[in-house]
Structures are given as structure tokens and as C-alpha cells.
Amino acid sequence: MATVKREAAPARPGEELATYLPWYRLMVLARRFEEEAERAFRRGKVGGYLHLYNGQEAVAAGWLAALRADDIFFTAYRDHAHAIFRGTEPRRIMAELFGKVTGVAKGKGGSMHIFDVARGFYGGYGIVGGHIPLATGAAYALRYLGTDRICLCFLGDGAMHSGSFHEPVNMAALWGREGLCPIVYVVENNQYAMGTSVERSTVVTELARKFDAYGIPSERIDGQDLLTVHETAQRVVRQVRERGAPYAVECLTYRFAGHGAADLFQPYRTREEVERWKQRDPILLLERRLREAGLLDDAQVAAIGQEAEAQVAEAVRFAEESPAPDPEELTRDVYTDPPSGFVP
């Protein structure tokens, strides 16, 4: 298991910490959403597959808080929380899990393909590493079109060992030399790719170092502490926007649940290891800081939890009551019309 650099919590004025209260609420909401999604899966309500984000919330929350509303981002299949942090209504995400027409992808994508293009969320991909070339091309397009928008590409530790990581990252570095590739690769190193630990999949376990080979600056940070993630994100986002060149940050984190809903026994890791990481639950770490600053007490923590539960219960009700897609939906939006004269 990789070690985590623990930084002493710097003292901060309560005023500054207060800006993190809305993010605490959203992280609690995302956690409750995942817990309920798992229950719905066990009740047979969720079609396809389900991957939970429990334990990793500070990573997506910290990065998305640093983006501008017109910036864009891509991620893999552990994607519900990313949409919640970006402001997508939980009921539309739950409806997508339930395969309903009111879902973000009209019920055709399911858990692994949450999209909200209006909010700059370009998905949700089930093919490991498959989104990295897309995100890199999108970053190039943003600068080619003359904007100062940037692209974030979240990816897992496992995805870094695929060919679809190395080719686009090399291209990004070349384009970045001309100021044409404003992308941040955010590696969510939760230390496992299904049942394979980082130690068993690569000799160079400090994943940030892999970007050295392409001349892309990078760093590794504690992904459990929202403030560390957010402060890094603000600095990096500013720099990438200015220079139009790629940057990479490895966020060391941990997933509390199994790989997916079918991974019940997790023979590849010990219960003690999971418990040890739960001591560094990102929600509890943030809660502790907010309590110390006098910004949260027991009553508020309970109220925020209840509010999140009510919102998630409403999302489930909405998903249950929404209609299934019309069978004709099956072929709609699947292929664009071929250009005239096109020969497949």
C-alpha cells in the first residue's frame, strides 16, 4: 500500500473555512446518494452495473470547485458524485441508474455513462482509459477555437497502464508546447484496479512520475483532504488556463466499497486496511475542521444528513415513478446521419 503524506492542518480563519460548508453538504449528499444507489441495486432496480465513489469525495469536490462554469471535464465509470458536485439534479442521475427516460442520458447510458453537457460534463465512460484521448482532443479544441476554457480529465490508477493513456498524453505535451492543450490529468489513485493493487500492476508506484516521461509537470497530493485538493486545484487550474499546457496531479485516495456492486468479498485486500483508511474518511476530516472552527455542531451535522437523505429519497421516488423509454428510443441518437455519399 502506498504511503500518504500527511500534512499538518494549517490554521485558517473561520471565514475562509466557511466557503467549504456548501462542499461539505454536497459530499454528504453524494455519500447518501451512493448508499441509496447500492440499496436500489440490491433491490433489482438498477440495470447494468454500479461503481460507488465512497471514500474519494474530496478529489472530485476539490477539483470541480476550482473550475469555471464554462470549463469542461471527463471521467471514467465511477461518475455519479462528479455530476452531483457539478450541480446535476440527483433525481436525474438516479433516474438514469433506473434506466428511465427522465435520466440524464434518457435511460440509455446507466450508471457508467452519466452526462450533463450543459454543465460541461462530457461523461462517464466504461472503457478503461477510453476517455483520455477524447478529453485530450477536447482540450485542444477549446484552445483551437480561441477560448480560455480548460478541460479536466479524471482517470484511475489502472487506466494509466493502458495504451489509451500514453498516446494522448504524448500528444498533449507536444500541443502544450505551442500553448494548445489546456488539460489537467487528475489521477484518482484509489490504489486498486478491480482486484489488482498498484504494487502488482507497475514498478513505478508513484504514478505522478510517469508524466516525467512526456515532459508534463506533475505532483502527488493527499486526496482525502478537501482543502489540500482544492488549494492545489486552484493553483493548477490558473496555471493551465494561462499557459495552455498540460499538468498532472496524482491524488492519493481510497475506495471504501468494492470495485463494483458484484465485488462483495474483496479477497485482494484486508478488512484492517479498509478500516485504517476509513479513519481518513474525507467527509469526517472536513467535518472535524469545520467543527474546530465553530462552523458545525452536532445539530447541524444531523440536519445536513437528514436533508441529504430527504433529497435522495425524493430522487428514488422520481426514478421509480418515471416512465421507461419508448422502445423507439433504442435507435435514436445512436448514430448521426451519415453525410451524403458516405460509404461505410
Ligand X SMILES: Cc1ncc(C[n+]2csc(CCOP(=O)(O)OP(=O)(O)O)c2C)c(N)n1
**Which residues contact ligand X (rule: CB under 6 A)?**
76, 78, 126-128, 156-159, 190, 192-194, 259
Query: CB 295: neighbour CB atoms within 10 A?
Result: 17
Using the minimum distance from each CB to ligand X, give the nearer residue, 88 or 190.
Answer: 190
Using the minimum distance from each CB to ligand X, give the nearer residue, 84 or 159.
Answer: 159
Write down the least CB distance from residue 54 to ligand X, Å: 12
Write down the least CB distance from residue 128 to ligand X, Å: 4
| DSSP string of 87-141, one letter each residue | T--HHHHHHHHTT-TTSTTTTSS-TT---BGGGTB-----STTTHHHHHHHHHHH
Name the residue with the smallest CB distance to ligand X: 156
Write down the least CB distance from residue 144 to ligand X, Å: 28
Cβ neighbours for 329, distance < 8 A, ≥ 6 positions apart: 101, 106, 107, 108
Using the minimum distance from each CB to ligand X, give the nearer residue, 156 or 223.
Answer: 156
Using the minimum distance from each CB to ligand X, give the nearer residue, 164 or 311.
Answer: 164
Write down the least CB distance from residue 310 to ligand X, Å: 29
Looking only at the bridges linking them, the beta strands covering 72-74 and 151-156 are parallel
Q: What Å distances lie between residue 235 and 188, 228, 232, 247, CA to CA?
A: 18, 11, 5, 11
Using the minimum distance from each CB to ligand X, give the nearer residue, 102 or 224.
Answer: 224
Using the minimum distance from each CB to ligand X, give the nearer residue, 157 or 281.
Answer: 157
Element (H, E) at 165: helix 163-177
Write down the least CB distance from residue 52 to ligand X, Å: 10
Write down the least CB distance from residue 276 to ligand X, Å: 18
Helices 282-292 and 226-243 pack at an angle, to 10 degrees, of 100
